[in-house]
Amino acid sequence: MSFRNLDFLVEESVSGSTMRLAVAAAQDVEVLKAVHDAAKREVVEPVLFGDLRKIEAIAKDLGIDLSPFELVDESDEAAAAEKAVKSVSSGESDLLMKGNVKTATLLKAILNKEWGLRAGSLLSHLFLFHIPRMGKVFGMTDGGMTMYPDLKTKQVIIENAVACYRRLGVECPKVAVLAAVEVVNPEMPCTVDAAALTQMNRRKQIKDCIVDGPLALDNAVSEASARHKGIESEVAGRADILIVPDIDAGNMMGKVMSYMAGGVGAGVILGARCPVVLTSRFDTAATKLHSIALGALLAKRG
């Protein structure tokens, strides 16, 4: 099973109970647009933490009625992040969204040992993206959290992404571990890691998925390319999840998909006690809406 587009996220996130979304430092134009859109579609019930004066000014300029939203006035962004995280850890809210606050500040609150959202797992970022000309959704990880993962960290990154896909209904996702080439080269450490991860999957150290690598990007997403290079694999040309070697590759790939390939995406942090909606300031309204819907759907199925 593969996803053909991201529309299912909004469609399925509106069924059942509505999830409460805690937004940390909500004084941001694009965040308020996305939250308002998600609320109108009954994807979430927003709770806005932040500088109320700035939030109200932005909402007035956008013509957004704030009366249906719960508002918590806090001008300090670190304190707003703390209050938003505590809202989730206490059970008052179901998921968290990054607003106009530095990622490091939000993570500090998420990882607080006393009232944070630690779940004993590595935090990793998963970005789902749909490229219209390819007619399929791909998951890419980790281009937003882990900088230069070692083998053990890559294993957890895979496990986080696979757990997410299974909650979305894909029982056995196909995972391609990417490199510049599709052969193992001792001078290219990421190819050695890819081969090790493949073997770990075959020996059931990584479960509930099919892992193969190293695979170059074209071989991972194009069956024609895989055939042309004589690659025989259950994953080649059929990958659901793409594992990038480091944050540099992942960051560039995400921006190519968004800015040059016309893709629409959805991004969340995995591995915490609840989903954390995390998007770029320059992401489209559609990507922000899909990200909120993805977080809400995962929160329901958690």
Residues 36-55: tens digit of each pLDDT:
999 999 999 999 999 999 99
Quote the domain boundaries for residue 33. Answer: 7-119+275-300
Does the model's pTM come out above 0.85?
A: yes
At 18-41, the pLDDT tens digits run 999 999 999 999 999 999 999 999
CATH no. for residue 205?
3.40.718.10
Query: What gap in Å lies between CA 119 and CA 49, rounded to an integer?
Result: 23
Specify if 99 maps to a domain: yes
Specify if 2 maps to a domain: no
Q: Domain check: are 44 and 95 in the same one?
A: yes
CATH no. for residue 38?
3.40.50.10950
Specify if 129 maps to a domain: yes
Specify if 267 maps to a domain: no
Q: Domain check: are 152 and 178 in the same one?
A: yes
Q: Domain check: are 105 and 152 in the same one?
A: no
Q: Domain check: are 186 and 234 in the same one?
A: yes
Strands lying side by side in the sheet with 276-277: 70-73, 44-50, 19-24, 95-98, 276-277, 264-270, 124-131, 136-141, 241-243, 174-178, 210-215
Question: How many domains would you assign to the chain?
Answer: 2
Q: Domain check: are 23 and 146 in the same one?
A: no
pLDDT of residue 134: 84
